[in-house]
Amino acid sequence: MAIPRLAFGPEDGLLVLSGAGLSAESGIPTFRDANGLWKRHRIEDVATPEGFAGDPMLVWRYYSQRRSAVRGCEPNAGHRCLAALEETLGDRLLIVTQNVDGLHQRAGSTRVIEIHGNLFRTRCSACSRESFDDNDDHTDEVPRCNKCRHGLLRPDVVWFSEALDSRHYVQIGQFFSRRWKRLHYLAVGTSGVVYPAAGLVQQARLARAQTWAVNLEEPDNVDEFDFFVKGRATERLPWLLRTDE
């Protein structure tokens, strides 16, 4: 079947779910590919509250290493084409990203929901202070909260077994339920394994969206999509979204 390209009328909307594959061509490793992060690190050690409680220094070394790797990377043509599309669509485009690298914003996107947090933000594991920007590497000592004075600071990323921010569900739900003439849903660079993000496509279908997946290989939940576009995000996104014309 020939794959149509996306076109937007004045009452049409697009929700994009992005995953690690979108940043792969910026040089940031994915999680589950051959040399992915979960092949080199144990999820239990570096991405769970129990891992942090057991060895917070190990966790900070891991995230400090990721911070310094991401600092040396730039947004790619995939991020840039979504930022360019926002100039046309404005608030009719919403990006929901599982990525914690901040590359969407560095490319110029402003309507971004970071459902798994951000690598360059830190929060207290004990008190309710707001998370804050933190560009430092913490490789020698686990930082402590200067507000409650005893809590260990931790990266503001979502770990396994932790809930997503309920405000994000509300924002996503509100976007889906607007009065669209046509709504499109596009998942890019994500394996479709991790929920609740992988279930957004079902929510999109309930909202009568046409659903698209752009990925190097078939995602786990490929059957949920109307169209699967196989290939690299940097090539396929500009083509699909017509920003290459």
Active-site residues, by number, are 116
Out of 53, 193, 199, 208, the only residue in the binding site for ligand OAD (CB under 6 A) is 193
Q: How far apart are CA 75 and CA 105, in angstroms?
A: 9
User: Between 8 and 63, whose beta carbon lies closer to ligand OAD?
Assistant: 63
> Closest distance between ligand OAD and the C-beta of residue 59, in Å?
12
Out of 216, 222, 227, 239, the only residue in the binding site for ligand OAD (CB under 6 A) is 216
Per residue, the 3-state secondary structure of the chain, as one string, reads: CCCCCCCCCCCEEEEEEECHHHHHCCCCCCCCCCCCHHHHCCHHHHCCHHHHHHCHHHHHHHHHHHHHHHHCCCCCHHHHHHHHHHHHHHHHEEEEECCCCCHHHHHCCCCEEECCEEEEEEEECCCCCCCEECCCCCCCCCCECCCCCCCEEEEEECCCCCCCCHHHHHHHHHHHCCCCCEEEEEEECCCCCCCCHHHHHHHHHHCCCEEEEEECCCCCCHHHCCEEEECCHHHHHHHHCCCCC
> Closest distance between ligand OAD and the C-beta of residue 11, in Å?
29
Per DSSP, what are the bridge partners of residue 230?
215
Site for ligand OAD in 6-35 (CB under 6 A): 19-21, 24-25, 30-33
Out of 15, 16, 47, 94, the only residue in the binding site for ligand OAD (CB under 6 A) is 47
> Closest distance between ligand OAD and the C-beta of residue 151, in Å?
22
User: Between 85 and 180, whose beta carbon lies closer to ligand OAD?
Assistant: 85
- Measured in residues, the chain has a length of 245
Site for ligand OAD in 57-96 (CB under 6 A): none
**Nearest residue to the partner ligand OAD, using Cβ:** 21
Out of 59, 189, 212, 221, the only residue in the binding site for ligand OAD (CB under 6 A) is 189
Residues 205, 224 contacting (CB under 8 angstroms): yes
> Closest distance between ligand OAD and the C-beta of residue 24, in Å?
4
Q: How far apart are CA 128 and CA 95, in angstroms?
A: 27
Out of 85, 94, 98, 114, the only residue in the binding site for ligand OAD (CB under 6 A) is 98
User: Between 60 and 180, whose beta carbon lies closer to ligand OAD?
Assistant: 60
> Closest distance between ligand OAD and the C-beta of residue 34, in Å?
10
Out of 26, 210, 211, 215, the only residue in the binding site for ligand OAD (CB under 6 A) is 215
Site for ligand OAD in 138-177 (CB under 6 A): 158
Residues in contact with ligand OAD by CB under 6 A are: 19-21, 24-25, 30-33, 36, 47, 98, 116, 158, 189-191, 193-194, 215-217, 219, 232-233
